[in-house]
Amino acid sequence: MTEATSFSASADHTQKKEKFAVQFMKNEKEVDIPSNEHGSPNAAADQKEQSTSEIIIDCVYTNNGSPEKTEIIKSVVTHQDASGNCELYLPESSNCSAMESSEDSEEDMYRDAEEIEREKILLSETSSSEHKLSVAPEIDIIEYCRREWRGNTPVAKRMRKGYEAVAQRFASIRRVRGDNYCALRATLFQALSQATQLPSWLQREDFTMLPENLLSKYDWIKQWQLKEKLGRKMGEISDEIKEYLILLRKKWKTISEIEDPIEKQDACDKLFKNEEEEYSLYEALKFLMLNTAIRLYNDDKNGRRVPVFSWLLFARDTSSNPCQLMQNHLNHIGNSGGLEQVEMFLLAYALQYTIQVYRLYKYSTDEFITLYPNDPEEDWPVVTLITEDDRHYNIPVRMCQETML
C-alpha cells in the first residue's frame, strides 16, 4: 500500500491553521430495525433526537509544510434537543475521546402519524425472501424517495430535496441489508461492480502473508474474533484470515476482468447472495483496516507524516492504540456495531479508494457531499454511497462509473 499522507503546505503558508472535525456516532447498534434487514427508510427521522459528538483538532503548518497538533484538542458535544452547544477543552496529554451521548428513548416528535404508520406497513409488507438479499434490486431513485418520504415534516422535506439532488447524477438506488456490515457491504459492492483492474496492493506477492507477519509481531492479534468464532488459536486465525485475503483477491480479479457491464453486475449480485463468501470478504476488509491502523500508528510514533483522521482515530479512549481499536471496535463490526465516521476514513485508506457519500440529512450544507478521505489521492478510484443518518448506507446506480477525482 502507498504510504499515508497528510495535508501539505508550502513554505509561504507558515503557521497556517486548519481545523479538522469528525462526528462520532455511538456504535452500540445500527439504526436499522431488526425486522427489516434493509434498514428503516426513516432512520434519520427516527434518530432526530440522537446526540452526536465531534472532535476538532487545530493543525498548525510549520516551515517544512507538515501539520503539528496544537496543545489543545477541542471536543464539541452537540445535543440537537438542547438549546446550545457544550464545549469541553481537554489537554493534549489527556486521553481525549468522543463523548458518548445518552440514547433518546422517547418517540420521535419530528415524525407525524402518517410517517409512523407508513413505516409499520413497510415492515409488515417486507417479504422473507427480501431479508436474504444483501443488495436489493434497483428502483428509480425518485420513485423510491416519493414512496419512502411522503410526510410533510421538516425531515421528510429535507430528504426529498436531498434525493432530488442525487437524482441529477444517478437514476436508481439499491437498498443495502442493514446488519451492521452495511458500510463495508455498500463500499465493497460498489468497488467490485465498477472495477476494471486489480488494485496494486492486491497484486503484491506478500499480500497473503500479511496475517502471519502481523501475528509474529503483535501477539494480541490472537484476540481477533472471526465471525463470532471465539477461542481460536493463533495459527488457526492466521490460516483463516489468509484464506479470506486469497478469496478477496480472487473475486476482485475475476470480476474486474469481466468487460460486459451486465455480466459484471450479475457476478456481483451472485457473490453478494453467497453468505459464506460475502462475510468472509468482510473479515478480510476488517483485517486490512487493522493493518492500515497499525501502520499509521507506528508512522505517527516514529515522527512520520500521517493524515489528520489518524490522530482522531487514536484520540478516543476506546482506541488509543491498534490493540484497543481491534478489541473495542473492529471485533464488533457486524455484530453489535457498524462503522463510525472516523472509521470510514480508515476503510478508504485500507482500500485506497475515495468514498464519496451523499449525506441526505446534511442537504443544503457544505457537508451534503462528504469525501473519505477529504484530501484524496488523485489516482484513487471513487465509489459513491447514500446515507440518511451516517449509520446506514445505500447504493446509487445507473450513472455510476469508476472515475478519478
- pLDDT tens for each residue of 137-157: 999 999 999 999 998 999 999
- Alpha-carbon torsion (280, 284, 285, 290), positive or negative: positive
pLDDT in tens, 13-60: 334 434 444 554 444 434 343 334 454 444 444 443 344 444 444 454
pLDDT at 104: 39
C-alpha cell at 179: 446488519
C-alpha cell at 136: 436489493
Report d(CA 133, CA 374) in Å as an integer: 32
C-alpha cell at 23: 462526528
What does the pLDDT average to over 197-202? Answer: 95
Q: Is the peptide bond before 373 cis (omega within 30 degrees of 0)?
A: yes
pLDDT at 15: 40
Active site residue 182: yes
pLDDT range class, residue 203, cuts 50, 70, 90: very high
Strand order in the sheet with 139-140: 139-140, 172-174, 393-397, 382-387, 354-359, 369-372
- Cα angle 360, 365, 366 (rounded to 5 degrees) comes to 105
pLDDT range class, residue 164, cuts 50, 70, 90: very high
Are 6 and 307 within 8 A, CB to CB? yes
Asked if the model's pLDDT at residue 124 lies above 50, the reply is no
Percentage of residues in the chain having pLDDT higher than 70: 63
Q: Which residues contact 183 (CB under 8 A, 6 or more apart)?
A: 338, 339, 344, 347, 385, 393
pLDDT range class, residue 378, cuts 50, 70, 90: confident
The distance of Cα 22 from the centroid of its chain, to the nearest Å, equals 12
Active site residue 79: no
C-alpha cell at 370: 462528504
The catalytic residue among 38, 96, 392, 400 is 392
- Three-state DSSP at 177 gives coil
- DSSP run (H or E) holding 287: helix 275-301
Q: For the ranges 60-69, 246-255, 260-269, 292-301, which has the lowest average pLDDT? A: 60-69
pLDDT at 218: 96
C-alpha cell at 343: 472509521
pLDDT at 234: 52
Active site residue 392: yes
Phi, psi of 62 (to 5 degrees): -95, -175
Report d(CA 134, CA 278) in Å as an integer: 9
pLDDT in tens, 64-104: 444 554 433 433 333 333 333 333 333 333 333 333 333 33
The catalytic residue among 145, 182, 268, 323 is 182
- Three-state DSSP at 196 gives coil
What does the pLDDT average to over 381-404? Answer: 83
Say which amino acid occupies 213: N
Query: Which among 107, 175, 118, 113 has a CA at the least distance from the CA of 149?
Result: 118
pLDDT at 35: 34
pLDDT in tens, 294-303: 999 999 999 9
- Three-state DSSP at 384 gives strand
pLDDT in tens, 311-369: 999 999 999 999 999 999 999 998 888 999 999 999 999 999 999 999 999 999 999 99
pLDDT at 374: 87
pLDDT in tens, 169-199: 999 999 999 889 999 999 999 999 999 999 9
The catalytic residue among 179, 300, 389, 390 is 179
